[in-house]
């Protein structure tokens, strides 16, 4: 006999899942968005020191405490505790559009052969939707049948490994960066640090030319081939931040190779 909880009569049998770490500024809006189509909410928190967990509980979510395992393993914790087969997994800075709510609510999840659904993602800097640089349409699988598929085990940039997904004609909103400063500080800080550590631990090595060539390639790809030149200052900024990120992750990898003092001072057990 099934042990699944009875769904809300007004909503599909979907469990909304979010992973968090210090997302007090985002979690209420994210859960409010999920609650429009989900009859169960789960937050998997990896040790927030702000009031993320308290806010999530007040919003009606069940909070699971789990030290961070890396992107894919962490995102698979919530679905493993869900009452429903279908899971809608959002990042804390993502929101469903009205269009997405309408389309998801109309799906007959029990009759469809698809094991997952993807939405187009609108990526923002501040309140500005960036439509170039490969930032749109940025299709991401967010709704999936947890009994047939799951996130990959990748600890960085994991995705749902669906065999028969379908793209929905709807968007979700991703408030990626609060402003241009954050776009560059994230690229030059934790993004490049984490990538350099991962590459070093995997045995990847850089040459003296690697930072320059990878940085230049990233800029040309974003600014020229993905149309950043048509998006004004924001397009140029996205291309430059991608170049900074690519340059620094290879420069830092080279530094780990060459400088034992820097390497020994780094804690490679805390990649995530």
Q: Are residues 171 and 202 in the same domain?
A: no
Q: Is position 215 within any domain?
A: yes
Q: Are residues 80 and 160 in the same domain?
A: yes
Chain-centre distance of CA 243, in angstroms? 20
Q: Are residues 28 and 109 in the same domain?
A: yes
The token duo for 95 is: 């929101």
- Residues with Cβ within 8 Å of 134's Cβ and at least 6 positions away in sequence, in order, are 221, 222, 226
Q: Are residues 93 and 220 in the same domain?
A: no
- Cβ contact 44:77 at 8 Å: yes
- Domain tally for the chain? 2
- Per residue of the chain (272 residues), give pLDDT as tens: 333 444 445 577 999 999 999 999 999 999 999 999 999 999 999 999 999 999 999 999 999 999 999 899 999 999 999 999 999 999 999 999 999 999 999 999 988 799 999 999 999 999 999 999 999 999 999 999 999 999 999 888 899 999 999 999 999 999 989 999 999 999 999 899 989 999 999 999 999 999 999 999 999 999 999 999 999 999 999 999 999 999 999 999 999 999 999 999 999 887 66
Taking alpha carbons only, the member of 160, 115, 111, 113 closest to residue 140 is: 160
Beta bridge partners of 143: 88, 117
Q: Is position 147 within any domain?
A: yes
Q: Is position 6 within any domain?
A: no
What CATH number has the domain bearing residue 53? 3.90.550.10
Residue with tokens 């001072």: 265
Other C-beta atoms closer than 10 Å to the C-beta of 80 total 13
Residue with tokens 């959002």: 90
Taking alpha carbons only, the member of 82, 100, 4, 98 closest to residue 41 is: 82
């Amino acid at each position: 006999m099934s042990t699944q909880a009875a769904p809300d009569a007004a909503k599909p049998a979907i469990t909304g899942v979010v992973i968090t770490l210090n997302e007090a500024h985002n979690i209420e809006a994210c859960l409010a968005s999920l609650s429009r189509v989900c009859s169960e909410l789960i937050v998997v928190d990896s040790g927030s020191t702000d009031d993320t967990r308290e806010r999530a509980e007040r919003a009606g979510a069940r909070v699971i405490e789990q030290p961070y395992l890396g992107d894919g393993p962490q995102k698979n914790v919530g679905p493993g505790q869900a009452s429903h087969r279908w899971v809608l997994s959002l990042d804390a800075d993502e929101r469903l559009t009205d269009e997405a709510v309408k389309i998801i609510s109309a799906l007959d999840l029990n009759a469809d052969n698809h094991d997952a659904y993807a939405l187009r993602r609108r990526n923002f800097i501040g309140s500005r939707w960036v439509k170039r640089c490969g930032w749109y349409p940025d299709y991401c699988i967010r709704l999936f049948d947890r009994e047939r598929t799951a996130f990959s085990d990748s600890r960085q940039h994991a995705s749902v490994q669906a065999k028969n997904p379908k793209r929905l004609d709807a968007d979700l909103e991703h408030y990626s960066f609060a402003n241009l400063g954050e776009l560059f500080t994230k690229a030059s800080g934790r993004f490049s640090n984490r990538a350099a550590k991962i590459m070093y631990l995997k045995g990847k090595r850089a040459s003296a030319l690697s930072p320059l060539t990878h940085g230049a390639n990233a800029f040309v790809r974003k600014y020229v081939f993905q149309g950043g030149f048509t998006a004004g200052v924001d397009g140029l900024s996205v291309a430059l931040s991608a170049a900074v990120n690519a340059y620094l992750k290879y420069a830092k990898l080279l530094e780990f190779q060459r400088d034992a003092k820097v390497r020994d001072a780094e804690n490679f057990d805390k990649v995530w």
